[in-house]
Amino acid sequence: MTVAWDDLVGSALLGTERRRPAGIVGDAAEAAEGLLDAAAEAVVRRRAGVLPAVAGPRPGQAADDPRPPLPEAAARRLRMMLTGSGRGRQGAAPNLTELLPQWLAVARQRGWAVPHALLPELLDAARSRTDLRADALAVAGPRALWLAALNPDWKFALRAGGGAVGAAAAAEDESARARLWEEGLFAERVALLTAVRREDPAAGLDMLASTWRTERAEDRLMFMDALRTGLSPADEPFLEEALADRSRNVRATAAELLSALPGSALAARMAARARSCVSLTAEGIAVEAPYECDAAMERDGVAPKPPSGRGERSWWLGQLVDAAPLSMWTERFGGRSPEEIVALPVLDDWQPDLHASWCRAAVRQRDAAWARALLGPPPDGSGPVTPVGDPAKLLSILPAQERAAWVARFVAAHGLSEAFQMLGACAVPWSPELGRAVIDALDIARDGGSYPWSFSGVMGLAERCLDPAAADQVALLSATTEESPGGSPGASAYWSEAFQRLTSTLRLRALMLQELSGAPTAPPEEIME
């Protein structure tokens, strides 16, 4: 006797007092037993008789990854970093999650392939930390893109990395490029435009121009921004036309890009306006800020309305000088060099405004000579620090070595309290000179008796950026010293712990790099417990 399963379930749900399956007889109690017997027979038959299901659509196969597999020790390290707890900065043990970005960057550079079994964890890490994405996806390789296509949680990989990878491929194939540009998602198109601009700026511009009129305003803004890559005088006609765009943000970005081209007509117009406002007199530089923001100025990207608390004339002046080519000032001031110009007195308290504008112009035009002049030699320890503009940004224009030397001297003179952003602008690993300056400054800070967490930002940077070779130098500092007389209670022990962590992190980084080099690991010493 077989009874349909659904019939059995229906009766079971309502109870045999109310409903009986077909073919089952007796009073309610007997029917309940009969129902259980029938159901037992049916469930065994259902389970034992199960037939293969029909396979659904199969995913394609992931592309081959020709890269060599990670050395085993490095693979183990990655697994620890990906599955470790996200413990914060405390105790003397290194914080592995902080080292993950560096690990990924080096692994990418070395061209290792990550074990496939770790890809889900790696994608999850890249999902929650955008700073990891570019390197994580590059290291993860084609297998991860294949995997990401199956999981909505990992869609970002197709946008960010996948877009870039796809774009790089498409950029080389003309028909694929055209199709992706016509049909791609917005982020894919941005990635494509950037990739094409990197290889062939003119082709990228043509591609953008072909659809420019039909793009939405917010998309136009992002595409305009992508033109920064490979920007050249050849882009000027397009940008000049974009100065009449319907969207104010697009107009402003076009103007900014044009002002980064010192030979552009816009730069020349701005130069003419700036020249009429700034002149050299016997007493120094005289400034006569503009009295109005006319339509032509507005068309060239000058914002007429100042932010609150700012006078409108100085606001307009600032924007003119920001956008004027720096080379004009040498000409305007009798062939003086940037150093000499910066040294000239400025009349009527206009100096802060004028110098701040020059800083912005130097950054925008990436003019190292002006950046050097505006930074000057690092201020010595005697006077207060009066930074002009944003020193970290100016520093970023200087060659790496010069930058590190400047910051090292700054730290030696002023300590660490104002150095955080400058340190962040320096190339990793820090030069020996810079590393020594930072370590010495930390030593001095400890002797000063404050708590180490006042320097936690710099400590974190040092963990990631100091050359691992400095570990022994730092280890010397981790011995507990006597409390300094005026110091905060217990500070010495905390410092000792902080230096221990710095030491062990540096050693761990050295070990990590060695593991990634593929050499057998025989490190001098590692972290205990």
Partner 1 sequence: MEETESRWTADQVLALAPDAASRKAGAKLASPAPWSGTGAAGTAVWGLCKGSGSKPYQTAVDTRGPAFRCTCPSRKFPCKHALALLLLWSEGSDGPIAAAGRAGEEAEWVAEWIAARRKKEEAAAAEPARPSAPADAEAARRRAERRIVRVEGGAAELEQRLADLLRGGLAGADSAGHRPFEETAARMVDAQAPGLAARVRELGSIVTSGGDWPSRMLEETALLHLLARGFLGREGLPGPLVDTVRSRIGFTVDSADLLAGPTVQARWQVVAQYDTADDRLTTRRIWLHDGSGGSAGGAGRFALVLDFGAAGRAPQLALPLGVLMDAELAYHPSAVPLRAALGPHRTAPEAAPVPSGTAIGAALDSYGAALADDPWLDAWPVLLGDVVPIPGPDRWQLADAGSQDAVPLAGPAPWRLAALSGGHPLTVFAELTPMGARPLTAWPGPAATAVFP
Q: What residues line the site for partner 1 (CB under 8 A)? A: 5, 8-9, 12-18, 28-29, 31-33, 35-37, 39-40, 42-44, 46-62, 72-73, 75-76, 79-80, 83-84, 116-117, 119-120, 143-144, 146-147, 150-151, 511, 520-529
Decide if 415 contacts 445 (C-beta within 8 A): yes
d(CA 430, CA 249): 38
Could you tell me which of 404, 410, 523, 506 has the C-alpha nearest to residue 464?
A: 506
Q: Can you name the residues that pair with 346 across neighbouring β-strands?
A: 285
Burial class of residue 180 in the structure, from the number of CB atoms within 10 Å of its CB (0-12 exposed, 13-18 middle, 19+ buried) = buried
Query: Tokens in use for 254?
Result: 């076009």
Q: Which is nearer to partner 1, 119 or 170 (CB)?
A: 119
Q: Which is nearer to partner 1, 139 or 147 (CB)?
A: 147
Report CA-CA distances (Å) from 153 to 60, 410, 438, 480.
Answer: 19, 46, 41, 48
Give the number of other CB atoms < 10 A from CB of residue 416. Answer: 23
d(CA 137, CA 130): 11
Q: Which is nearer to partner 1, 150 or 282 (CB)?
A: 150
Q: Is 457 helix (H, G, I), strand (E, B) or coil?
A: helix
Decide if 114 contacts 103 (C-beta within 8 A): no
Report CA-CA distances (Å) from 274 to 282, 332, 499.
Answer: 19, 10, 52
Q: Which is nearer to partner 1, 84 or 490 (CB)?
A: 84
Burial class of residue 1 in the structure, from the number of CB atoms within 10 Å of its CB (0-12 exposed, 13-18 middle, 19+ buried) = exposed
Q: Which is nearer to partner 1, 144 or 405 (CB)?
A: 144
Q: Which is nearer to partner 1, 83 or 210 (CB)?
A: 83
Min dist CB 477 to partner 1, Å, is 20
Could you tell me which of 315, 326, 333, 405 has the C-alpha nearest to residue 360?
A: 326
Q: Which is nearer to partner 1, 44 or 244 (CB)?
A: 44
Min dist CB 66 to partner 1, Å, is 14
Min dist CB 273 to partner 1, Å, is 60
Q: Which is nearer to partner 1, 26 or 311 (CB)?
A: 26
Min dist CB 55 to partner 1, Å, is 4
Min dist CB 130 to partner 1, Å, is 21
Min dist CB 122 to partner 1, Å, is 9
Min dist CB 49 to partner 1, Å, is 6
Q: How far apart are the first and last CA of the chain?
A: 68
Min dist CB 486 to partner 1, Å, is 34
SS (H, E, C) 109-141: HHCCECCHHHHHHHHHHHHHCHHHHHHHHHHHH
